[in-house]
């Protein structure tokens, strides 16, 4: 095997790529990770914006595969901030001697399946070529950042940053006039983190999101010891919930619980750390529109209590979707930021942005001058990172063409016509809609086990069966008929106003829950992978 020929090339050195590399090296395969950044970490390498931290409990975000690692690593906070997570991932990479198998500053431009050799020919943007039997994508769901389609973004003479590309060097925001465009999970974290330090903060909001308090806190030494001794139970709990978090839903329905008891329960959720407020709720809150409306009213009143100016409060309360039907941003003093005299909320549905100019943002009503503009405008989510690589399967078929109207996959791990390509956290899998690391560990284990079997059997070509793929499409779509999530426009449902053509529902994710997804994958394995053709 020449130096640039491998059994597997993994693209991406984030949470997913790191674990896949670990697994495949342990199988004795020749593997390389190609990574665009100058170090490992993926999401946690890039997103260095102020306030970036987990919404997952730290101790459910770490890998579970090594008891030694679990014993060695201490988390400092219940919801760790980005620098700590990046340190953790680097620690894992070094502990398991993975760094030498990673090539950084290497962005993949194209990947083409060569039918004669049953290998992928992978080319970087500098023209470097690699060959491998398996082409494993660990390229992130939220790694293709999108700027708003607003005229003049390059005319601005102050500093401007998309949150994803936040610089490594500290950005001094003190005494600056700062604009934040976007109020998703990222914008909400940024706003909460910087509101008190800047001279003036203007938030440009298109649609408000339902946010709830994170309630972060430090983890004491004693607590960490307790967490370490309970890891088995913690991970077992995560495995048992649809969301992969430690929060399980209440089996009662909203209607059957008396109001006083219901409100006490909701207050408890609102005052507790993490995503319980979203996924630890009554069973029908995300399914029954009436139950959802009642809970949304409850949360709306919380916002009214926290935001002093009633007009601002009303602007911050979503009217076009119910609580939890888009990804819920967890926040720290987000709503209180709007009580500061130097913080202003601009509702751009009333006062639209016309363009960005040299000095600031020109809206329909005024020109607002800024020193810094922060774009918290999100991502061409889930499929964007795939679209940015020219991927060609058999008979010259392009993945971007096949996915023109939305992703089409078998189990979210393979695509018919693209043999030997394994998507480790791809569209229509369970990772997106659940706590990411537990979900990817399951997906990586499944793919690695499958590849081990193929390797042992001397099979060098495996491809999803087209009929199995069609069945998976119908199955994925069926969940969209019952979930309230499907009725809202967000990256979960494939919308992005900044990407041409992403203005209609696309079936991006498997909504059946992590345990059911794992069952489907293991049944396939137990039955000899009938959904896949080998030769
Ligand atoms: P996002 O949820 O897609 O939010 C993007 C925001 O930008 C939205 O408020 C959107 O408004 C606004 N926007 C986009 N284009 C615009 C335009 N042209 N003009 C005005 N506003 C515009 O992206 P995100 O906040 O980066 O979050 C993405 C995901 O990353 C999250 O859902 C979450 O899964 C993950 N994340 C996780 C954490 C964590 O774990 N703590 C933190 C941050 C992010 P509309 O709503 O009107 O489209």
CA dihedral 524, 527, 530, 531 (to 10 degrees): -10
Tokens standing for residue 110: 């194209």
CA of 268 to the centre of ligand 1 (A): 27
Q: What is the C-alpha separation between 245 and 264, in angstroms, rounded?
A: 22
CA of 287 to the centre of ligand 1 (A): 23
Atom of ligand 1 nearest to the CA of 53: 41
CA of 215 to the centre of ligand 1 (A): 21
Mutate to test the pocket of ligand 1, among 14, 273, 378 (most ligand atoms within 8 A of CB): 378
Minimal-distance CA residue to ligand 1 atom 12: 182
pLDDT for the residue numbered 1: 61
Cβ-proximal residues to 99 (8 Å cutoff; 6+ apart), any chain: 40, 93
Query: Which residue from 142, 140, 108, 92 is spatially nearest to 9, judged by alpha carbons?
Result: 108
Cβ-proximal residues to 416 (8 Å cutoff; 6+ apart), any chain: 408, 410, 463, 464, 465, 466, 469
Cβ atoms 143, 36 nearer than 8 A: no
| E-assigned strand segments in 12-107 | 31-34, 102-103
Q: What is the C-alpha separation between 358 and 496, in angstroms, rounded?
A: 26
How far does CA 306 lie from the centroid of its chain?
28
Mutate to test the pocket of ligand 1, among 78, 185, 431 (most ligand atoms within 8 A of CB): 185
CA of 188 to the centre of ligand 1 (A): 9
Minimal-distance CA residue to ligand 1 atom 2: 184
Mutate to test the pocket of ligand 1, among 86, 186, 382, 494 (most ligand atoms within 8 A of CB): 186
CA of 476 to the centre of ligand 1 (A): 24
Cβ-proximal residues to 194 (8 Å cutoff; 6+ apart), any chain: 50, 51, 173, 178, 201
Question: What does the DSSP 8-state code read for residue 195?
Answer: T
Mutate to test the pocket of ligand 1, among 206, 244, 245, 327 (most ligand atoms within 8 A of CB): 206
Atom of ligand 1 nearest to the CA of 142: 30
Cβ atoms 430, 421 nearer than 8 A: no
Cβ atoms 135, 414 nearer than 8 A: no
Atom of ligand 1 nearest to the CA of 377: 7
Mutate to test the pocket of ligand 1, among 141, 144, 377, 433 (most ligand atoms within 8 A of CB): 377
Question: Which H or E run includes 439?
Answer: helix 436-456
Atom of ligand 1 nearest to the CA of 79: 41
Q: What is the C-alpha separation between 344 and 339, in angstroms, rounded?
A: 9
Tokens standing for residue 471: 């069945």
Question: What does the DSSP 8-state code read for residue 42?
Answer: T
Question: Which H or E run includes 182?
Answer: none
Atom of ligand 1 nearest to the CA of 182: 7
Q: What is the C-alpha separation between 277 and 268, in angstroms, rounded?
A: 9
User: pTM of the full predicted structure?
Assistant: 0.97
Query: Which residue from 53, 47, 42, 45 is spatially nearest to 14, judged by alpha carbons?
Result: 42
Minimal-distance CA residue to ligand 1 atom 20: 206
Cβ-proximal residues to 347 (8 Å cutoff; 6+ apart), any chain: 205, 315
CA of 108 to the centre of ligand 1 (A): 26
Cβ-proximal residues to 97 (8 Å cutoff; 6+ apart), any chain: none
Strand pairing class (360-363; 353-356):
antiparallel
Sign of CA dihedral 182, 185, 188, 193: negative
Atom of ligand 1 nearest to the CA of 348: 20
CA of 329 to the centre of ligand 1 (A): 9
Could you identify the residue written with the tokens 């342990």?
Answer: 26
CA of 146 to the centre of ligand 1 (A): 10
φ, ψ of residue 346 in degrees (nearest 5): -110, 120
Strand pairing class (200-205; 343-347):
parallel
Atom of ligand 1 nearest to the CA of 185: 25
DSSP result, 205-257: ESS----EE----BPPHHHHHHHHHTHHHHHHHHHHSTTSSSPPPBSS-GGGS
Q: End-to-end distance of the chain based on CA atoms, in angstroms?
A: 21
CA of 460 to the centre of ligand 1 (A): 41
Atom of ligand 1 nearest to the CA of 327: 32
Strand pairing class (119-124; 129-137):
antiparallel
CA of 407 to the centre of ligand 1 (A): 21
Mutate to test the pocket of ligand 1, among 182, 362, 375, 489 (most ligand atoms within 8 A of CB): 182
Atom of ligand 1 nearest to the CA of 378: 23
Query: Which residue from 337, 464, 315 is spatially nearest to 394, judged by alpha carbons?
Result: 464
Tokens standing for residue 255: 């209607």
CA atoms lying within 13 Å on the CB side of residue 344: 11
Cβ-proximal residues to 201 (8 Å cutoff; 6+ apart), any chain: 178, 179, 180, 191, 194, 195, 337, 340, 342, 343, 344
Q: List ligand 1's pocket residues with C-beta within 6 A.
A: 53-55, 142, 148-150, 181-187, 189, 204, 206-207, 327, 348, 376-379, 491, 497-498
Q: What is the C-alpha separation between 142 and 145, in angstroms, rounded?
A: 7
Cβ-proximal residues to 15 (8 Å cutoff; 6+ apart), any chain: 42, 43, 44, 89, 436, 437, 440
Atom of ligand 1 nearest to the CA of 207: 47
Question: What does the DSSP 8-state code read for residue 138?
Answer: -
Tokens standing for residue 210: 């339902």
Task: Provide the 10 A C-beta neighbour count for residue 267.
Answer: 12
- The one-digit pLDDT tens for each residue of the chain (535 residues) are 667 899 999 999 999 999 999 999 999 999 999 999 999 999 999 999 999 999 999 999 999 999 999 999 999 999 999 999 999 999 999 999 999 999 999 999 999 999 999 999 999 999 999 999 999 999 999 999 999 999 999 999 999 999 999 999 999 999 999 999 999 999 999 999 999 999 999 999 999 999 999 999 999 999 999 999 999 999 999 999 988 999 999 999 999 999 999 999 999 999 999 999 999 999 999 999 999 999 999 999 999 999 999 999 999 999 999 999 999 999 999 999 999 999 999 999 999 999 999 999 999 999 999 999 999 999 999 999 999 999 999 999 999 999 999 999 999 999 999 999 999 988 999 888 788 888 999 999 999 999 999 999 999 999 999 999 999 999 999 999 888 888 899 999 999 999 999 999 999 999 999 999 999 999 999 999 999 999 8
pLDDT for the residue numbered 436: 87
DSSP result, 324-393: TSSPPPEESSHHHHTTSTTEEEEETTTS-EEEE-SSEEEESS-EEE-SEEEE---B-TTTHHHHTSEEE-
Strand partners, 120: 113, 132
Question: What does the DSSP 8-state code read for residue 84?
Answer: H
CA of 523 to the centre of ligand 1 (A): 36
CA 45 → CA 42, 143, 207, 252, 330, distances in Å?
5, 11, 28, 41, 21
Edge-to-edge strand list for the sheet holding 367-369: 353-356, 360-363, 367-369
CA of 152 to the centre of ligand 1 (A): 21
CA of 131 to the centre of ligand 1 (A): 36
């Amino acid at each position: 095997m020449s130096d640039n020929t491998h059994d597997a090339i993994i693209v991406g050195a984030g949470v997913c790529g790191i674990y896949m590399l670990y697994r495949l090296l342990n199988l004795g395969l020749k593997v390389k990770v190609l990574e665009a950044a100058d170090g490992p970490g993926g999401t946690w390498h890039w997103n260095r914006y102020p306030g970036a931290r987990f919404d997952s409990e730290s101790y459910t975000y770490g890998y579970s595969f090594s008891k030694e690692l679990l014993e060695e690593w201490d988390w400092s906070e219940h919801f760790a901030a980005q620098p700590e997570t990046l340190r953790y991932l680097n620690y894992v990479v070094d502990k398991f001697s993975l760094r030498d198998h990673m090539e950084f500053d290497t962005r993949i431009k194209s990947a083409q399946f060569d039918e004669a050799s049953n290998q992928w020919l992978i080319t970087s943007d500098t023209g470097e070529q690699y060959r491998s039997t398996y082409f494993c994508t660990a390229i992130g769901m939220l790694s293709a950042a999108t700027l708003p389609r607003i005229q003049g973004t390059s005319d601005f003479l102050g500093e401007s940053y998309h949150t994803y590309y936040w610089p490594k060097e500290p950005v001094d925001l003190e005494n600056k006039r700062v604009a934040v465009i976007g109020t998703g999970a990222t914008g909400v974290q940024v706003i909460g983190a910087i509101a008190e330090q800047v001279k003036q903060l203007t938030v440009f909001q298109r649609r408000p999101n339902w946010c709830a308090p994170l309630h972060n806190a430090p983890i004491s030494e004693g607590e960490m010891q307790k967490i370490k001794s309970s890891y088995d139970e913690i991970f077992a709990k995560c495995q048992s919930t649809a969301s992969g978090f430690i929060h399980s839903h209440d089996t009662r329905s909203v209607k059957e619980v008396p109001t006083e008891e219901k409100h006490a329960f909701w207050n408890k959720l609102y005052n507790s750390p993490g995503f319980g407020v979203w996924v630890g709720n009554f069973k029908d809150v995300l399914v029954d529109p009436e139950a959802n409306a009642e809970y949304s009213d409850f949360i709306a009143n919380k916002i009214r209590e926290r935001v002093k100016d009633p007009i601002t409060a009303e602007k911050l309360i979503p009217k076009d979707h119910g609580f939890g039907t888009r990804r819920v941003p967890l926040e720290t003093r987000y709503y209180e930021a709007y009580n500061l005299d130097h913080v202003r909320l601009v509702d751009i549905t009333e006062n639209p942005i016309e363009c960005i100019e040299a000095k600031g943002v020109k809206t329909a009503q005024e020109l607002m001058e800024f020193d810094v503009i922060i774009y918290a405008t999100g991502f061409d989510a889930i499929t964007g990172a795939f679209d940015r690589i020219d991927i060609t399967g058999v008979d010259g078929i392009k993945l971007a063409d096949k996915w023109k109207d939305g992703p089409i996959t078998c189990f979210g791990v393979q695509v018919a016509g693209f043999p030997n390509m394994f998507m480790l956290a791809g569209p229509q899998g369970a990772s997106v809609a659940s706590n990411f690391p537990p979900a990817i560990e399951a997906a990586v284990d499944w793919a690695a086990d499958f590849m081990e079997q193929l390797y042992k059997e001397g099979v060098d070509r495996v491809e999803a069966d087209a009929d199995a793929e069609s069945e998976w499409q119908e199955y994925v779509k069926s969940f969209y008929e019952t979930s309230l999530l499907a009725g809202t426009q967000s990256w979960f449902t494939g919308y992005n106003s900044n990407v041409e053509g992403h203005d209609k529902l696309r079936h991006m994710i498997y909504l059946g829950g992590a345990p059911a997804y794992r069952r489907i994958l293991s049944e396939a394995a137990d039955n000899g992978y009938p959904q896949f053709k080998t030769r």
